[in-house]
Amino acid sequence: MSSAPKAKPTQQIALPPQREGIPAAVEECLQRTATVLFQHQVAEKADLIHAVNLARQSNSHGHPADLLEILARHLGHEEPEFSRVIASYGEKIAATLIPSPPSIPFAGKFIAPNAFYESFPELRQLGHALMAPVIYAEDSDAIGTAAINPIAAAIMGEEITAAVVRRYQIRPFVTSVILEYPSWTETVRKHFQR
């Protein structure tokens, strides 16, 4: 049993909104991410439109893609600067969120929460589509998500909250963190057999 504090019953909490499905969540993530990147002048509008279209095309072929990774490649960034560039994109996006998710370098070392994924297969599918895995799940009341894109992790967290509230009538404590690019690629591979 978890030592985390128990969540409030649903009578005392409002049900969080739930998106219409995985494609809606992925599209929202793409749009919100592109908007923030444009506002921070990370790339020209034409480059962002092209990167969004590449992400949509990859997703439509069953190969989930993160806009930050696609944009960095599209703009010609290569190692050794590739990871640093993606981290800078993530930091700019994180600064626009409340609360701002921290970067946790070791978060990718957690073991995949298979019991959680088995209990919520739709959330595993969503995590795969958003490239935002669940990095820990203590029962159903303390759950963590992670990604290179803080918006993807935030959307995943919102959907986890909605699913847990509807099923168990408790509001879980959900945290989101930013992973470093190498840790994220390994975590996504471990969680989703990519």
pLDDT (tens digit, 9 = 90+) per residue, 17-65?
677 889 999 999 999 999 999 999 999 999 999 999 999 999 999 999 9
Q: Where are the extended beta strands (E) located within 6-116?
A: none
Q: What is the mean pLDDT of the chain?
A: 89
Across the range 154-178, mean pLDDT stands at: 93
User: Structure pTM?
Assistant: 0.89
- Percent of the chain scoring above 90 in pLDDT: 78
Distance between start and end Cα atoms, the chain: 32
Q: Where are the alpha helices (DSSP H) in 40-113?
A: 45-60, 67-74, 82-94
Residue 110 has pLDDT above 90, yes or no: no
- Which residue is listed with tokens 């490649």? 73
47: tokens are 């480059």
CA angle 58, 62, 65 (to 5 degrees): 45
pLDDT tens by residue, 58-99: 999 999 999 999 999 999 999 889 999 999 999 999 999 999
CA–CA distance, 193 with 87 (Å, rounded to integer): 23
